[in-house]
Amino acid sequence: MAIINALATILAMITFLGICWWAFSRGRAQANREAAMLPFALPDEGTTDKKN
């Protein structure tokens, strides 16, 4: 039973590290920049301009 727990832990760690590597890889840099700017692309909540 302990071997199964160890294998599950190792698999979870490898999965976590793989996701971190993917998220911070150079290929994702542009997508990360675009995602970081999304909150600023929304219209302001306090504006009273109404377009008909």
Distance CA 19, CA 2 (A): 26
- Band of pLDDT at residue 41, cut at 50, 70 and 90: confident
| More confident position, 51 or 19 | 19
Q: Do residues 4 and 12 make contact, with C-beta atoms less than 8 angstroms apart?
A: no
Ranges of H-type helices in the chain: 2-23, 29-41
Residue 49: the pLDDT is 62
pLDDT score of 11 more than 90: yes
Q: Do residues 9 and 3 make contact, with C-beta atoms less than 8 angstroms apart?
A: no
Quote the tokens at residue 35.
Answer: 């995602």
